[in-house]
């Protein structure tokens, strides 16, 4: 028969074994502590394939923007004979200017702001990307103060701001280091998962927005798995 004394003993052992209920248990780790999935699009601002990729990723961002860190990595050829940019952009100097504007917007603004800026540029038609008018109009549409803010200063009036040119050269170097050669190349968590260059290819996991969302969710779960 269980004596009162041994019963009390069992209760105290049970209490010692059970971990105390902490705030942590009631509220799982805050979502802001999570690890985002790096997503890189290797692009050129006036390239039709890049514009297509960015429109696919517009749908991706609508679904998983809180799970990713998205950035653009620009493709051009380093060229010491280029007097303005030091790189040759496949679609001309205006493309270099567009690249600079997009990099500067991304450096100084939130993803939702700079992404809106890029989408707006794309909607103006390929031949208008990189012009001072398009940059100004699209900055306004994206809620960016281009004339008085840091992004506009970085890009300069004609896409020739010193800081912007530096960012472009750095981005071109980064693309070369990451072996990004085709616009558009899609990289999810460091892995090239798909290329769009006239046609889609090397897209093992598919090339629709739903396919990219699925791959991002898988990587996110892997990165944030509680062990
Ligand atoms: C380098 O730039 C010069 C000057 O714009 C140009 O004539 C030349 O074709 C460029 N070289 C390459 C490989 O693009
Ligand atoms: C880019 O790479 C070239 C060649 O390696 C180098 O001279 C230049 O300093 C680099 N530029 C930046 C901004 O990293």
Q: State the pTM of this model.
A: 0.86
What is the distance between the alpha carbons of residues 164 and 153, in angstroms, rounded to a whole number?
A: 9
Q: Supply 26's token pair.
A: 């009631």
CA of 161 to the centre of ligand 1 (A): 21
- Please enumerate in sequence order all residues whose Cβ is within 8 A of that of 219, keeping only pairs 6 or more positions apart, or say none: 37, 188, 189
What is the distance between the alpha carbons of residues 45 and 128, in angstroms, rounded to a whole number?
A: 11
Q: Is 169 in the pocket of ligand 2 (CB under 6 A)?
A: yes
Atom number in ligand 2 closest to CA 169? 13
Residue (of 179, 219, 135, 218) closest to 42 by Cα position: 179
CA of 169 to the centre of ligand 2 (A): 7
Residue nearest to atom 9 of ligand 1 (CA): 88
Second CATH level (architecture) for the domain 42-223:
3-Layer(aba) Sandwich (3.40)
Assign 22 a pLDDT band (cuts: 50, 70, 90). Answer: very low
Q: Looking at the predicted structure, is the pLDDT value of residue 20 above 70?
A: no
Q: pLDDT, tens digit, for every residue of 4-13?
A: 445 444 444 4
The percent of residues in the chain predicted with pLDDT above 70, rounded, is: 85
Q: Looking at the predicted structure, is the pLDDT value of residue 16 above 50?
A: no
CA of 83 to the centre of ligand 1 (A): 10
What is the distance between the alpha carbons of residues 161 and 36, in angstroms, rounded to a whole number?
A: 31
The whole-number pLDDT of residue 18 equals 45
Q: Is 88 in the pocket of ligand 1 (CB under 6 A)?
A: yes
Q: pLDDT, tens digit, for every residue of 24-62?
A: 444 444 456 899 999 999 999 999 999 999 999 999 999
The whole-number pLDDT of residue 14 equals 44
Q: Looking at the predicted structure, is the pLDDT value of residue 65 above 80?
A: yes
The whole-number pLDDT of residue 24 equals 41
Q: What is the DSSP string of 19-40?
A: PP--HHHHS-S-GGGSPPEEEE
Higher pLDDT, 225 or 136: 136
Atom number in ligand 2 closest to CA 166? 13
Q: Which ligand is nearest to the CA of 83?
A: 1
**What mean pLDDT is reported for the chain?**
90
Q: Which ligand is nearest to the CA of 82?
A: 1
The whole-number pLDDT of residue 61 equals 97
What is the distance between the alpha carbons of residues 148 and 185, in angstroms, rounded to a whole number?
A: 34
Assign 226 a pLDDT band (cuts: 50, 70, 90). Answer: confident
């Amino acid at each position: 028969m269980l004596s009162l004394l041994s019963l009390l003993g069992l209760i105290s052992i049970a209490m010692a074994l059970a971990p105390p209920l902490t705030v942590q248990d009631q509220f799982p780790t805050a979502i802001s502590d999570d690890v985002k999935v790096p997503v890189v699009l290797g692009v050129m601002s006036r390239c039709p394939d890049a514009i297509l990729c960015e429109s696919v990723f517009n749908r991706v961002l609508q679904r998983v923007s809180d799970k990713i860190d998205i950035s653009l990595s620009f493709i051009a050829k380093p060229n010491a004979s280029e007097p303005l940019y030091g790189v040759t952009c496949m679609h001309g100097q205006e493309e270099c200017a567009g690249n600079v504007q997009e990099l500067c917007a991304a450096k100084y603004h939130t993803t939702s702001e700079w992404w809106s800026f890029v989408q707006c540029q794309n909607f103006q038609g390929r031949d208008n990307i990189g012009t001072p008018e398009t940059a100004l109009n699209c900055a306004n549409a994206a809620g960016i103060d281009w004339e008085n803010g840091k992004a506009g200063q970085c890009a300069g009036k004609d896409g020739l701001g010193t800081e912007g040119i530096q960012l472009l050269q750095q981005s071109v170097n980064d693309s070369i280091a990451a072996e990004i050669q085709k616009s558009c190349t899609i990289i999810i968590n460091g892995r090239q998962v798909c290329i769009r260059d006239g046609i889609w290819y090397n897209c093992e996991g598919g090339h629709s927005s739903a396919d990219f969302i699925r791959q991002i969710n898988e990587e996110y779960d892997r990165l944030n798995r509680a062990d």
